[in-house]
Amino acid sequence: MLTAKQHELIRFIQQKLEETGISPSFEEMKEALDLKSKSGVHRLISALEERGFIRRLPNRARALEVVKLPEDAVTSSSRPRAANDAVIAAAAPRAPAPAPANDIIDVPLHGRIAAGAPIEAIEGQSSMPVPAALLGPGEHYALEVSGDSMIEAGIFDGDFALVRRTDSARDGEIVVALVDNEEATLKYLRREAGRVRLDPANGAYEPQIYEPHRVKVQGKLAGLLRRYH
Q: What pLDDT score does 114 carry?
A: 78
Average pLDDT over residues 22-44: 83
Whether 146 is catalytic is: no
Average pLDDT over residues 115-143: 74
pLDDT-derived band at 167 (thresholds 50, 70, 90) equals very high
Strand-strand pairing, 195-199 and 208-210: antiparallel
Q: What's the domain range around 143?
A: 104-225
User: What CATH number does residue 78 fall under?
Assistant: 1.10.10.10
User: What CATH number does residue 180 fall under?
Assistant: 2.10.109.10
Q: What pLDDT score does 199 carry?
A: 95
The answer on 208 and 118 residing in a single domain is: yes
Q: What pLDDT score does 155 carry?
A: 92
Q: Domain total for the chain?
A: 2
The answer on 181 and 119 residing in a single domain is: yes
% of the chain residues with pLDDT over 70: 78
Among 38, 58, 91, residue at a domain's last position: 91
> Over the range 76-88, which residues count as b (16 or more CB within 10 Å of their CB) and which as e?
eeeeeeeeeeeee
The answer on 195 and 137 residing in a single domain is: yes
> Amino acid letter at 96?
P
**Residue 62 · residue 38 · CB < 8 Å:** no
**H or E element, residue 56:** strand 54-56
**Residue 164 · residue 151 · CB < 8 Å:** no
The answer on 154 and 65 residing in a single domain is: no
d(CA 223, CA 128): 14
Q: What is the mean pLDDT of the chain?
A: 78
Length in residues, the chain:
229
The answer on 112 and 86 residing in a single domain is: no
Q: Is the pLDDT of residue 88 over 60?
A: no
Average pLDDT over residues 97-118: 67
Domain membership of residue 110 (yes or no) is: yes
Catalytic residue among 16, 30, 187, 220: 187
Domain membership of residue 99 (yes or no) is: no
- CA atoms within a 13 Å half-sphere pointing along the CA-CB vector of 83: 0
Catalytic residue among 23, 146, 149, 220: 149
Average pLDDT over residues 202-221: 93
- CA atoms within a 13 Å half-sphere pointing along the CA-CB vector of 100: 16
d(CA 212, CA 168): 13
The answer on 29 and 84 residing in a single domain is: yes
Q: Is the pLDDT of residue 125 over 80?
A: no
Q: pTM to 2 decimals?
A: 0.54
- Given 3-state DSSP classes, what are the helix, strand and coil percentages for the chain, each rounded to the nearest 5? 25, 30, 45
The answer on 117 and 218 residing in a single domain is: yes
The answer on 188 and 121 residing in a single domain is: yes
Torsions phi, psi of 134, nearest 5? -85, -15
Q: What pLDDT score does 73 carry?
A: 52
**Residue 156 · residue 224 · CB < 8 Å:** no
The answer on 212 and 190 residing in a single domain is: yes
**pLDDT per position as a tens digit, 186-204:** 999 999 999 999 999 999 9
**Residue 172 · residue 37 · CB < 8 Å:** no
The answer on 53 and 146 residing in a single domain is: no
Domain membership of residue 132 (yes or no) is: yes
Q: What pLDDT score does 94 carry?
A: 42
The dihedral built from the CA positions of residue 165, 170, 173 and 176, taken in this order, carries a sign that is positive
The answer on 114 and 219 residing in a single domain is: yes
